[in-house]
Structure 1
Amino acid sequence: MAQASNDSTLNEQFAALLSADGWSLLSTIDPSMVATKDAAWTLNEKLRKDGHDAQVIRAVIAQAELRYRARVKFGPFADSLVFTPAGLEQATRLTIAGLHARRFTSAGCTHVADLGCGIGTDSIALASAGLQVTAVEKDETTAAATTLNLMPFENAKVVHGSAEETDLTGIDGVWLDPARRTDQAGNTRRLFDPEAFSPPLSFVEKLVDEGKDVGVKLGPGLPHDAIPDTAEAVWISDHGSVIEACLWFGRLRREGIARAALVIDKDGAHELTNPVTAQADVPAPVGELQEHVYEPDGAVIRSHLISTLLESTGGHLLDEHIAYFTHAQQISTPFARGYKVVAVHDYNVKKLRSWVKTNGIGTLDIKKRGVDVTPEELRRILLAGSPKSAKNKATLMLARIGDKRVAFEVQPH
């Protein structure tokens, strides 16, 4: 009942937003005017005094708040889009959507169906690339938002319907972003069983068998044993955050590549690949701590390409179960962040508190792998009682090496 109530409220808000007064009012609101709860309350009071309908005000402020949050993903372009809360959460960042679209254009596709298009950010990128786009969304309110977002593109249309029932006649490319947060019983949670997705991965394979060129966006936690042999799998990291895993089939799959880690940073995009002929995971070398420790990017870890990274950089793991690797030299790679080892401490809270106090540490960054501790909680404990005059900064890397837990005092490169 709660879900039905939420859907009804969203539909009512959207209807108010699309009213003549609502749409006109939204065009006058800069999202930064609702950057805080106090600012949103002040705007609400002003709009009420100006005589606007209360329901319209709620709808406009809610949309302005979504646009403000969306600036993280879409920059200033967010101010021209229409969002739903779920649609914003699951939407592809425009820079990443552009990479998706490039796959289809490079493969020679001409007409792409975006099945489960959400608010349409991938459809926008596909249409911007000159492709004919059919955007399909089964949620009526979200489909309405997508229609508004795609209005500038004559080569795009929106269909209100389900992915499985869409007529794909004349369509050569298919892009899917399956729902991954609600199971078949309606329980909201993150899903890692590809057959529990909506639509399931078996539906994707059916499209491939029918000769479609298919790309599918999945969560980065996708288990490797669920990846079909016919797919190229790419994990994407955007400025340190692993945001998705993509499977590419048909002409969208690059020849000779089984897995890849695509790392996007301030210097551009960097890719580490694993050839089809080397799909089996090769154990990485393990050895003693050296002068530098490196933390591989999450996309490298998720794609199981640490051995490939070590082949190109040298170095070895500290423990076969821990992703940190060590090297005698300072190396430069976009696929890992490096630190110089200053000292090695036993993982002993009492001794670490003494170390913090003795060194006047007031700011402490904690990283960890293989150690059952919450960095935020440990930081609070270690800094407890630290005087306000403590201005020094430090970084600790916690790791389990064999049966021993250690804390590396390090300095970022």
Structure 2
Amino acid sequence: MGKNGRVPAPNEPVTTFAALLTDEGRSLLAELRDHDPARELATATRLRRDHPAELVSAALGMARLRQRAVAKFGAEDAYRMFFTPNGVEQSTRRSVADYRAARFAALGIRSVADLCCGIGGDAIALARLGIRVLAVDRDPLTCEVARANAEALGLAELIEVRCADVAEVDTAGYDAVFVDPARRGGRGRIFDPEAYSPPLSWAIEAARRAPHAALKIAPGVPHEAIPDDAEAEWISDGGDVKEAVLWFGTAPGARRATLLPGGHSLVGAGLPDPSVRAVGRYLYEPDGAVIRAHLVADVASGFSGSGLIDETIAYVTADELRATDYASAYEITDVLPFNLKKLKALLRERKVGVVTVKKRGSAVEPEELRKKLKLEGPNSCVIVLTRAAGAPVMLLGHAVSA
């Protein structure tokens, strides 16, 4: 039901969005670029004196979405683009889309069928490299938004937007297929790949029919769900794991971790798990993409005499400091059984007022620990709450760079 009990017409969201593409709508959006959400009521009241109430509401909603989208797309693109709430939430961040588009281009791909295109983030990245894109989505509003984005960024000649069920689209004339299934439902994030829309099994079959393909999936996908003929790549950006991608037509069976913004890419060599050893002078914390890709052993192999501190914990220890793009390094000064009273006394003695708390395999919550420590002093340290050889420990030290 809409306001006053009115049932919205099926195409009403599309009609409302279309009003934002008029001169009046664009003028309102330009005026709202830097608006303060805390003053939205006053802003809406003022604007409604000169503009229809529904257009003002739509413009304010789009202004909020643009502000949220800056983190993913950058201000230059975000304030020219159009969004839906789901589109902002589920779209690929620009750095990741640009990286994936560059991989397609390096394969010699000149045309891509982008299935489940959403608001067009990946289609835009592909088109910017001169790749022709068929962007398909079954939601009429999403398609209109994707079409408007292609137009706004000057890419309409390279991006054809089609409103259709992806299962009914013939992709035979395209060099590659890209599928980004919906991984959120009415109850939030979906963890079962067969509950994606469309299901992962359908996406895999669509990929196998194309010369090349990439399927975007959740980074927590079980490795046993990855088909043998796919290359699996986990991508992190700024240290946060963003997604996993199954590539077809590249390197079947390979496991890869890629770290952005540097573009460092580690391909697994199928090494056995490192042995467990006592905590040494240095602790290495592999990037999340490395851990998800099960490539901790590949990182550990770069350090002489290295090993895991615990067979279930992805911390590597060694007695040497060596540069690596795939892990953060810490020099460890203290290895102690976890004891809050002793930790407080030690930090007080060393006049530590600032701590960075890291945890892996510990039930202690960092924020709760900080409250209990009651820190004072000019010095700082890193506290790692974890397990070593099966026992809870606290490691004290500081970040270092080789």
Normalising by structure 2, we get a TM-score of 0.89
Q: Within 1, Cα distance between the matches of 2:369 and 2:180?
A: 38
* Corresponding position of 1:308: 298
Structure 2 gap ranges (5+): none
> CA separation of 1:19/1:208 partners in 2, compared to 1, >3 Å: closer, same or farther?
closer
CA-to-partner distance for each residue in 1:383-405, whole Å, 9 max, x for gaps? 3xx56xx4432220011123311
Residue pair 2:359, 2:366 contacting (<8 A) in 1 also: yes
In structure 2, the partner of 1:329 is: 320
In structure 2, the CA distance between the partners of 1:45 and 1:410, relative to structure 1 (3 Å rule), is: farther
Q: Quote how far apart the aligned CAs of 1:257 are.
A: 6.3
**Counterpart Cα distance in 2 of 1:132 and 1:38:** 42
Q: Distance in 1 between matches of 2:87 and 2:118?
A: 6
Tell whether 2:162 aligns with 1:159.
yes
Correspondence 1:157-236 to 2 at 5 A: 157-182=160-185, 187-236=186-235
Deviations 1:191-216 (A, max 9, x none): 23221111112112322443442111
Q: Which amino acid aligns with 1:68?
A: Q
1:369 match: 360
After TM superposition, the structure 1 = structure 2 runs for residues 386-397 of structure 1, keeping only pairs within 5 Å, are: 386=375, 390-397=377-384
Do the aligned residues in 2 keep the contact of 1:362 with 1:392 (CA within 8 Å)?
A: yes
What is aligned with 1:286?
276
Identity of aligned residues (%): 39
Mapped partners of 1:391, 1:323: distance in 2: 31
Q: What is the match of residue 392 of structure 2?
A: 405
Deviation of the 1:156 alpha carbon: 1.2
Residue by residue, what CA displacement relative to the aligned partner does 1:119-144 show, whole Å, maximum 9, x if unpaired? 10100111111122110011221111
Supply the AA of the counterpart residue of 2:108. Answer: G
Code of the residue aligned with 1:163 in structure 2: it is V
How has the CA–CA distance of structure 1 residues 8 and 155 changed in structure 2, closer, same or farther, with 3 Å as cutoff? closer
**How many residue pairs end up in the alignment?**
390
Q: Deviations over 1:41-65 (max 9, x none)?
A: 45334434x5233322222122112
Structure 1 counterpart of 2:299, which letter?
A: L
- The 1:38–1:364 alpha-carbon spacing in structure 2 relative to 1, beyond 3 Å, is same
Give, in whole Å, the separation in 2 of the partners of 1:270 and 1:313: 18
What are the ranges of 5 or more consecutive residues in structure 1 without an aligned counterpart?
none
Aligned to 2:102: 102
Partner of 2:132: 132
Q: Is the 8 A contact 1:289 1:318 kept in 2?
A: yes
More deviation in 107-116 or 359-368? 359-368
Residues 11, 366 of structure 1: alpha-carbon distance in 2 compared, 3 angstrom cutoff: farther
Residue 95 of structure 2 contacts residue 260 of structure 2 at CA under 8 Å; is this kept in 1? no
**Counterpart residue number, 1:338:** 329
Do residues 272 (structure 1) and 259 (structure 2) align? Answer: no
**Cα offset, 1:333, TM superposition:** 0.8
In the TM superposition, residue 105 of structure 1 has moved relative to its aligned partner by 2.3
Q: Which amino acid in 2 is paired with 1:173?
A: A
Task: Output the CA distance in 2 between the equivalents of 1:61 and 1:159.
Answer: 28
Which of residues 32, 35, 50 in structure 2 aligns to 1:33? 35
CA distance in 1, matches of 2:350, 2:314: 29
CA contact (8 A) 1:257 1:273 kept: no
Cα distance between partner residues in 2 of 1:307 and 1:13: 54
Q: Could you list the structure 1 runs, at least 4 aligned residues long, displaced by more than 4 angstroms after superposition.
A: 7-13
Preserved CA contact (<8 Å) 1:204 1:214:
no
Identify which range, 191-200 or 343-352, moves more after superposition: 343-352
Supply the distance in 2 between the matched residues of 1:209 and 1:74 (Cα, whole angstroms): 31
Letter in 2 for 1:55: E
